[in-house]
Amino acid sequence: MAAYGLYSHIQSNRRRSIALLVGLFFLIYLMVYAGALAAEALSVNADSDVLMQLAWNDFLHAAPWATAGTALWVVIAYYFHQNMIDALTGGRDVTRAEEPRLYNILENLCISRGITMPKLKVTESDALNAFATGMSDKQYAITVTTGLLKRLNDAEIESVLGHELTHIRNDDVRMMVVAVIIAGVVSFFAELVFRLWFYNGFGFRGGRSDDRRGGGAAFAILIAVAFIAVAYFLSFVIRLALSRSREFLADAGSVELTKNPDAMISALRKIEGRGELPGATSAVMEMCVDNPRQGFGELFDTHPSVDSRVAALVKFAGGHDPGPLPLPPSDADDDQSDQPPPPSGPWGPAVGEPSEDAGASPDPSSDSPAGPWGPHTGATSQSGHN
């Protein structure tokens, strides 16, 4: 199951990234034309053919501005996407002095395979999750939640970091960021156009007579609405380009890095259903180890189910599935640590005895089990009476 750094997968991701960027401009042009068509239909009383020709002329004048605006959006997202994601998730850079355990695990993984070490970030959240971001070697970063650090052991954390390193190595991260940019810009423009229509454009229905507007205008408006709806839907479907096979490959790459399939399996079982980041958008959740926001019978899911990922690791990597795991110790343990310790005897704390009974005389009639150094006090006195 050696999938780490697969050349064919890397090349496929690079081709997809270029195709997605080209698709972004196509979707923007489609929405610009739809907006021009709707504007002409609302202002000119003419047949649909005439309106479509007028809209085409408007589109040719607006295309350079649309191209420049889209390119500016891409440039801003390229350089500042990490700042935007950190603002949503609360991620912050950490050093070895702040997180020596996490930092050393990641550094050892990178040194063992000669990989450039990405930036390390931590976000304060009880969720169990992690994700990688970046578009180049200087930008790559791995963000880990504090909940994951508390609940997973070193071997499991190493497996999660290996998973994210594989995403970086296979160029999955770059393609996911591009898809997020596309979904964001198309959704923004589609919502903007619809808001303008609903608050301004559709006001003519109540104040204009039907004889001033022929069927051509209504038909043109329907076409414009259909174009924008298609562009918005395609921006959502673009997420399907984030092939779910990338998660299987990242799991496999983690196993190749760590040589520990059981740690990857147990990490997935602990993370399963516990990775929801409240402040994160759906686009950010699609970058995470596990995305609990699933639905439609996995039709539009960006992640395969944990069961299928574990089954693949068991089949191809020889791992062992422990089944769904209970929630690891968390706040309950912290609450217990705040309680006063039980009274101690000469050989340690009195296990199972409440503190208020520590000084009480044992009941002679009770059957007290023998301790490691002989019978308890009650048992001794009882035997003495006998």
Instruction: Give the torsion through C-alpha atoms of 4, 10, 11, 16, to 10 deg.
Output: 140
Q: 326-347 burial, b if ≥16 CB within 10 A, otherwise e?
A: eebeeeeeeeeeeeeeeeeeee
- State CA 322 to chain mean position distance: 24
What are the residues facing 37 on neighbouring strands?
Answer: none
The DSSP element (H or E) to which 133 belongs, if any, is strand 130-133
What DSSP line would sit under 193-253, residue for residue?
Answer: HHHHHHHTGGGHHHHS-GGGS-HHHHHHHHHHHHHHHHHHHHHHHGGGGS-THHHHHHHHH
| Mode of pairing for the β-strands spanning 130-133 and 141-145 | antiparallel
Instruction: Report how far apart, in Å, the C-alpha atoms of 86 and of each of 124, 132, 242, 284 are.
Output: 11, 12, 22, 10
**Residues pairing with 349 in the sheet:** 344
Number of H helices, E strands in the chain: 14, 6
What DSSP string describes 134-177? -SSTTT-EEEEEHHHHHHS-HHHHHHHHHHHHHHHHTTHHHHHH
Whether the CB-CB separation of 244 and 51 falls below 8 Å is answered with no
Q: Report the catalytic residues.
A: 164
Q: How many residues does the chain have?
A: 386
| Three-class SS state of 82 | helix
